[in-house]
Structure 1
Amino acid sequence: MDDERTFLAGLQEGSMFACHRVGWIDSKGGLWRWILYHEPFSSYLAYSVPLVAMQTSLVLVVQQIISFLLKPFQQPTIVPQILGGIVLGPSGIGQFTKDTDLFPPGRSLPLATFGSLGFILFAFIIGVKMDPSMFKVTGKMAMIIGLLSLIVPSILGICSVVVMRYVLELDPVVGQMLYFAAAAESLTSFPVIACLLTEMKILNSELGRLALSSALVSDLTKTCISTFAINIKIGEGHIEKSIHAFTLCIAFLLLIIYIVRPALFWVARKTPEGKPVKEGYIHLILLGVVVSSFLSMMLGLNFLFGPFILGLATPDGPPLGSTLVRRFEFISSMFLLPIYLTYSGLRTNLLSIKTPNIVTAFVTIVFISAMGKTSAIMLPCLYSKMPFSDSLSLAFILNAKGVIEMALNIILLDNQNINDEIFAMMVMSVLLSAVIVCPVVNALYDPSRKYAGYKYKTILNSNLSCGIRILVCIKEEENVHTIIKLLKFSPPSKESPVCIFVLHLIELVGRAAPILITHEMHQKSSNNYSKYIINAFKHYEEENRDAVLLQVFTSISPAESMDNDIYTLALEKGVSLIIIPFLKQSVSIGQTESEKVIPRSLNNMVLEKAPCSVAMVVDRWYDEGSVYKTLTKSTYNVAVLFMGGADDREALACSIRMAGNPSINLTVVRLNETDGMDFNFNEEERMFDEVVLDGFCIGDRKDIEYIEEEVRDGTQTTKLVLSIQENYDLIIVGRQQRMESSVLAGLTEWSEYKELGILGDLLASSENRNRASVLVIQQHKTRSSSKKEVILS
């Protein structure tokens, strides 16, 4: 009887009902019944499993085709996902394929449920990645921008709705719907901004960090306001009911904060470092995600509220947060969530946009809200002397819309807060925002732009009697021994101290926001990052008391944009040299965050954009966890291969600083062509080579052995270089040599590691079994073509 009343009530409200045949799940006979008995193809799709399989396959294929077509335009992943649904929906192919019943109105619910489960996991993952403690350390600028970007467009949007209702004489029901649309258009979503910044590879840039912090402030404020409003709505005007709803909501939050959260931290503590989280714990947490969604709906809240709060209560990063993200993110973000977004597109009927007054009102509201948000963001930035292009880029980023807005649109449509026409326009607003933001921000904002005017910073320009500043990048703990040994080759002194800045690079996993940690060397650290590295370099500092100034940082950021932290730190600290280990091959992603290995592409990015000189170390002193006897020798033989050019001159300047070490036997090997020609046919380059050699008095110093070798072609050069390395523990070479020289002919064709240059690649080749480490030097490259080098006296 109750079901009959519900059915009749639904008919009166104009709701749509779909009838399903019980037990029609898996087709019996499949396509053979279509082929042999000439049954219509639609009868095969009447079964649930074939229909869902066909819909899912079609959705993913169309998405991939659109993604491939849009690849040259650098569009975010949400664009092909929404467009795929629109193409398949009633606005596209759907209006011509009504007879095939591929996406019948009542039979797309399994697909929607499928996608909704993915969205539940997505909400949980976003909560895991979000660090609530960021709110406490958010800067004043981010706090102001975050609040203004929410308040100003909300007020302007609501005011514009009031004006439009009277100016255009809109229907009162439509006017109420536009209030919801105006509120939705004014929001800023932290997950959307984090995903956008990650895709654009500017997550850990200065602008990216400000955008992320501002989005966090805005999103958390919006969550508190919306939760309050929902509980008021549940009360339906009755204070007692509202208080009851608030009490249950607070009880739910207290349950998660004081019972679930300590249990999750207990799981993290019980997981040994470097070991995976037990499967039983993962299953229990997955059960908790589903149960929290169910409890949210029981409380009258959105089904995503519970999973999101549970994610916030989960400790981010390793071991638990990174494990959960790695286990759940692929299936949710790469499979289930795209289905949900395509389902949103399927429900978008662009043909329903046909009422001029409603279109005019909606476009006006969106424009006023966007302009209000843009002004609210840009004015504080311009007041604080931020460049106009950066301020405008930040405004575009915080105006971006994505998956969260699409979910909100679906919820508003399902709750009948908006109609199909307004829903279609809101989907187009999300799509237009996603299409515009990325190209515009890429055109306006270049993180490396600030390095273009950076003054020339090289070892050659540094006074030998003065100290230098060095930034050391550590990718793995195994790099520490080699880097410290290399630093010991150039011993500091009280008269010529060395400032060393150590940056431990860790790939960002299990959290949305990048972190740059500054470690206090003489205080006990409150975190576990980089402990081994800190202790090793602290010991080195104590060995060179009053001659070494040390500071250690840990960068946790995406591998694709990790180089931004290197440039920023080098620029802030005014370093003259960046030392970075060289990886012969990219190592696959490990089990825990501490085992992540940064890909070789980082070396190429640093070489291209570094604001100072760069040294890459090819380690041959450390093998499979045991230190070679080379590390414990009393004297070391070091050779410099000099062919001429800016990088070779920088390599020579680095080696000269080692000559003062009594335990170093330094040899400078100059390679000349047999016909007497110099490698550098450019007169200016040749002059610089001679001035540097004379300035260092290479031929007259007793502590430096100077050798000149003549070579004829690439084969002879190879034999000479390989024979030289057998006598040395370290070989220093410049990265760039003159490519047209006959003595290098043919060597580029066999290059295995082009980022090391010709000679560096020859010495570091996997076929070369010699244990001499290699130091490849590149002199600072400015964007101007003019040559800037100090002539030594």
Structure 2
Amino acid sequence: MATSTTTATATGAVKVPPQGGILEGGNPTDYDPKNPLVLFIIQAVIIIVMCRLIHWPLSKIRQPRVIAEVIGGIVLGPSVMGRIPGFTDAIFPTASIPSLNLVANLGLVLFLFLVGLETDLRFLISNWRIALSVSAAGMILPFGLGSAISYGLYHEFHGDPGTKPIEFGTYLLFIGIAMAITAFPVLCRILTELKLLSTRVGVIVLSAGVGNDVVGWILLALCVALVNAGSGITALCVLLVCAGYMLFLTFAFRPLFLRFLEKTGSLQKGPSQSVVALTLLIALASAFFTQVIGVHAIFGGFVIGLICPHEGGFAIKVTEKIEDLVGALFLPLYFTLSGLSTNLGLLDSGIVWAYVVGVIAIAFIAKVAGGAFASRLCGLLWRESFSIGVLMSCKGLVELIVLNIGLQAKILSTRTFTIFVVMALVTTFLTTPLTTWLYPNWYQVKVERWRRGEIDWDGNPVDNNGRNDSVALAKDEMKTIPVRKLLVYLRLDGLSGVCTLAALLSSKRQPLSSRVHPAKMPQQTDQTVEDPITVEEDDAALRVHGVRLMELTDRDSSVMKSSIPSVPSVNGTISPLMAGVSVVPEYSYADTVIGMAQQDTADLLLLPWSETGTLADRQNGLEITGTNRFSNGTYTNFVSDILQRVSGHVGILIEYGPESTKRPPISRTASGMSIQTSLWSRQPSNNRTHHVVLPFFGGDDDRFALRFVMQLARNDQVTATIIQIPSAETKKGATASVTPASSSSAPATSSQSDIAFFETVRDSLPHELADRVVFTQPDVKDSISDSIQMAVLSTREELKHTFNKANNIVVVGRRSVTSEVDFVLEDSIGQDTRQALGALGTAMVQPENKIYGSVLVLQAGTGGLADYYR
């Protein structure tokens, strides 16, 4: 009986967690080893909110998120909030740290897998000479000086609590790695935000960063193997197994993996959920293997990321699947744990602060000096060289990962760990402002112009054989075509019109017979039968540059998209197109396009109008509405900003027609990459005849528009009609007439200079264009008192003569008419859009006016030919 009583008493002593939770008075911050989820959620919420709050002001000065995450950990750790009595025991009790650490390290393995995916070894291969020089110098000098200071660190702090006895050689190797390594992921984001990826500095830094990253992780694996091994023989065996594993992955596993991806269509259509799951399992299995052989698990995840293919955007698509979870949840936990392990209170003596200053100075100066002198020896300018050195000094999250490995391996004490964390924060914080100061945008423009021979080093224009006579220059330009270099803003929803216009400008003589203007053709009822197409050499080489803009977000995949290959030519219908991708914040879109126009010295900047009214790309098959398309929005602001700030010629192409707002929906859902592929592989239209109409009012924009139409007319597949709109003083009784190119009569215009220019173009029309170009004057009826209404009605009447209305192009000057009338301006077109397109351009895209065809709105540059024709 006594035994039963004793047993009951012992059983009653075991406390069962209250099943009612807080309703039974339970404390959610009490750690329960059998159910750690509640406290983990509290910890995760506090960590993520704290990191986001700290990052918000730091993002205004372009600082990477890792700084906020480490500072957040320092604030939550013993340095700040840990000094509040009971805070650490309640929120971060010692018993809960293993659970938090498990989740954080799982995220770390996945993050290193993403780093491997982001590391494109093709950069290293294509620029191996200069990359090898900069990477080697940027590692050898910091490694050497770091080894020197490691002697003092070893003898001063190796006896601190939390360390284990290790040989000085191993300690030296670890400190040298910590000094020499570069944070490649943070470096990519800094280059992208500063818009340096496409510059010479950016390419060199990326190439050297890849090599630095790979060598650094290999050395770290060596260091960990030496620490974990019980003897030198064991360490050698670990290294040999690791080397054999890498060779197996490279030469045996990767070809099989590529064949599997090709067979499943993952490279063409993107990875399915099963393929993503398999890839993650391979990464985790690799992490398991490297951990059990004595190398850290993160190395296994990294090498699997390295061997994943970049063909078909596979690496980007896999990154997009998992980066949000890793970046939003796992990484803040890991780097906050770094902050929790950092105790600034241990920096409590003069000798400790002397080592803090020494470590920062060596890590920064040695890295900058090594990269700068190597770059200078490779032929770069001093500013460029020092910019490369500063960028290579960025430590960031890779440095913190290395330090955490050293802390876990008991190579570093908490004191030395804190010293190096401060160094990592300072060097990472200095990277962006110093690079901006050393390599500003004005200096980049100056160097590019100097290398092209446009200016001397002092900024003075290079003499161009004394051709300063504006009149002589104007006459000479009249004999040439106005657009030889075309810069195109590439959008998926404006691709068809852009390619068509560029093909027409290239003046390819493809048909066997020239086209004849509809007004001069014999009467016939059947549509013209298309002639066979042949291809001859271009009369004038048109250089087409394209820029594709993608929004820079806080995702790593947005940075990776900057490596998307240049856009190929479309089935031979366009001159060779040199295209690139710029990944920038949305507010920098206009700055990027303007900078490209200045850098390329383009004769014309062509902007296709958005189908949705937003800066986001949409496929042409998507259903749109005219109301959204021309309402005030982000795209209107983007175009207006360019029109106000650019100094060269600008064209706005609106693919438009009364039925264009009711397009059939697409039949499948596709990713952005597949949409791009389908658009560029689309077959062009067999009917390549085009009719161009220009209502000519006068002014700089119309003069440039007239010369532009004359260039289009050089193409044998183009016919053109120039409608000279009479001024208000023209008599209302004037009669309509079709004036051939040889006619000597011309209606009066409001400007004598416009008359002279118009007559010069008309009378000097080449004989081969006489059958395809017509000058005409519209009816001037009593009921038509407004010039815009007259231009709209005349254009609509002219377009009735064409067979293929989809290929009509209406060219108008943006500022040729400044008056706005209620007849053409409706509420469906926003006020900002009206100002961007101009009064006449707005009238032409008004659905009620039924202008069948695309509309091209031109604005003459402030420093171009318009200055010579005044």
Q: TM over 0.5, yes or no?
A: yes
2:127 maps to which residue? Answer: 138
C-alpha distance in 2 between matches for 1:304 and 1:313: 15
Percent identity of the aligned residues? Answer: 19
1:555 maps to which residue? Answer: 580
Query: More relative contact order in 1 or in 2 (CA 8 Å, sep 6+)?
Result: 1
TM-score, length of structure 2 as denominator length: 0.70
- For residue 418 of structure 1, report the CA deviation from its aligned partner: 1.3
2:44 is the counterpart of 1:56: yes
2:156 maps to which residue? Answer: 170
Q: Deviations over 1:588-608 (max 9, x none)?
A: 6899xxxxxxx9598678768
C-alpha distance in 2 between matches for 1:203 and 1:486: 27
Report the 3-state secondary structure (helix = DSSP H, G, I; strand = E; otherwise coil) of the residue aligned with 2:694: strand
Contact 2:727 2:750 in 1 (8 A): no
1:771 maps to which residue? Answer: 852
Contact 1:469 1:576 in 2 (8 A): yes
C-alpha distance in 1 between matches for 2:189 and 2:341: 24
Report the 3-state secondary structure (helix = DSSP H, G, I; strand = E; otherwise coil) of the residue aligned with 2:121: coil
2:541 is the counterpart of 1:498: yes
Report the 3-state secondary structure (helix = DSSP H, G, I; strand = E; otherwise coil) of the residue aligned with 2:576: strand
Out of 488, 493, 499, the residue aligned to residue 504 of structure 2 is 488
- For residue 262 of structure 1, report the CA deviation from its aligned partner: 2.0
1:240-255 equivalent positions in 2, closer than 5 A: 241-255=234-248
2:24 is the counterpart of 1:33: yes
2:811 is the counterpart of 1:732: yes
C-alpha distance in 2 between matches for 1:214 and 1:689: 61
Q: For residues 116 and 722 of structure 1, do their structure 2 counterparts lie closer, same or farther at Cα, with a shift above 3 Å needed? A: farther
Q: Deviations over 1:169-198 (max 9, x none)?
A: 835547966874453132213222113223
Q: Deviations over 1:280-328 (max 9, x none)?
A: 2221111111111111111111111111101111111435323211111
2:110 is the counterpart of 1:121: yes
2:611 maps to which residue? Answer: 584
Q: Which range is displaced more, 396-405 or 132-141?
A: 132-141
Contact 1:505 1:554 in 2 (8 A): yes
- Equivalent AA in structure 2 for residue 774 of structure 1: V
Contact 2:485 2:544 in 1 (8 A): yes
2:184 is the counterpart of 1:103: no
Report the 3-state secondary structure (helix = DSSP H, G, I; strand = E; otherwise coil) of the residue aligned with 1:479: helix
Q: For residues 248 and 726 of structure 1, do their structure 2 counterparts lie closer, same or farther at Cα, with a shift above 3 Å needed? A: same
- Equivalent AA in structure 2 for residue 133 of structure 1: R
- For residue 209 of structure 1, report the CA deviation from its aligned partner: 1.5
- For residue 689 of structure 1, report the CA deviation from its aligned partner: 8.0
C-alpha distance in 1 between matches for 2:860 and 2:417: 57
TM-score, length of structure 1 as denominator length: 0.77
Q: For residues 198 and 709 of structure 1, do their structure 2 counterparts lie closer, same or farther at Cα, with a shift above 3 Å needed? A: farther
Report the 3-state secondary structure (helix = DSSP H, G, I; strand = E; otherwise coil) of the residue aligned with 1:775: strand
Q: For residues 716 and 280 of structure 1, do their structure 2 counterparts lie closer, same or farther at Cα, with a shift above 3 Å needed? A: same
1:681 maps to which residue? Answer: none
Out of 332, 341, 350, the residue aligned to residue 344 of structure 2 is 350
Out of 719, 722, 725, the residue aligned to residue 667 of structure 1 is 722
Q: Which range is displaced more, 143-152 or 491-500?
A: 491-500
C-alpha distance in 2 between matches for 1:511 and 1:317: 16
- For residue 404 of structure 1, report the CA deviation from its aligned partner: 1.2
Report the 3-state secondary structure (helix = DSSP H, G, I; strand = E; otherwise coil) of the residue aligned with 2:542: strand
2:477 maps to which residue? Answer: 463
Report the 3-state secondary structure (helix = DSSP H, G, I; strand = E; otherwise coil) of the residue aligned with 1:108: helix
Q: How many correspondences in the alignment?
A: 715
2:651 maps to which residue? Answer: 615
Contact 2:120 2:210 in 1 (8 A): no
1:595 maps to which residue? Answer: none
Contact 2:372 2:385 in 1 (8 A): yes
1:526 maps to which residue? Answer: none
1:325-336 equivalent positions in 2, closer than 5 A: 325-336=319-330
Report the 3-state secondary structure (helix = DSSP H, G, I; strand = E; otherwise coil) of the residue aligned with 2:187: helix
Contact 2:183 2:397 in 1 (8 A): no
Unaligned runs of 5+ in 2: 1-12, 161-166, 455-460, 465-469, 510-536, 551-555, 620-633, 667-678, 732-748, 766-772, 800-807
1:532-547 equivalent positions in 2, closer than 5 A: 533-537=569-573
C-alpha distance in 2 between matches for 1:329 and 1:462: 57
Out of 775, 799, 817, the residue aligned to residue 705 of structure 1 is 775
C-alpha distance in 2 between matches for 1:629 and 1:193: 41
2:257 maps to which residue? Answer: 264
1:222 maps to which residue? Answer: 216
Contact 1:651 1:734 in 2 (8 A): yes
Q: For residues 692 and 62 of structure 1, do their structure 2 counterparts lie closer, same or farther at Cα, with a shift above 3 Å needed? A: farther
2:868 maps to which residue? Answer: 791
1:594 maps to which residue? Answer: none
C-alpha distance in 1 between matches for 2:206 and 2:848: 46
- For residue 235 of structure 1, report the CA deviation from its aligned partner: 4.7
Q: For residues 778 and 97 of structure 1, do their structure 2 counterparts lie closer, same or farther at Cα, with a shift above 3 Å needed? A: farther
Contact 2:817 2:840 in 1 (8 A): no
Out of 203, 211, 220, the residue aligned to residue 209 of structure 1 is 203
- Equivalent AA in structure 2 for residue 730 of structure 1: I
C-alpha distance in 2 between matches for 1:373 and 1:630: 56
1:306 maps to which residue? Answer: 300
Q: For residues 404 and 771 of structure 1, do their structure 2 counterparts lie closer, same or farther at Cα, with a shift above 3 Å needed? A: farther
Q: Deviations over 1:23-59 (max 9, x none)?
A: 99x973232223xxxx556448885111011111111
- Equivalent AA in structure 2 for residue 136 of structure 1: I
Provide the alpha-carbon RMSD of the alignment.
4.7
Unaligned runs of 5+ in 1: 1-20, 519-528, 541-549, 592-598, 677-686
Q: For residues 749 and 108 of structure 1, do their structure 2 counterparts lie closer, same or farther at Cα, with a shift above 3 Å needed? A: same
Contact 2:485 2:602 in 1 (8 A): yes
Report the 3-state secondary structure (helix = DSSP H, G, I; strand = E; otherwise coil) of the residue aligned with 1:277: coil
Q: For residues 697 and 390 of structure 1, do their structure 2 counterparts lie closer, same or farther at Cα, with a shift above 3 Å needed? A: farther
Report the 3-state secondary structure (helix = DSSP H, G, I; strand = E; otherwise coil) of the residue aligned with 2:20: coil
Q: Which range is displaced more, 557-566 or 273-282?
A: 557-566
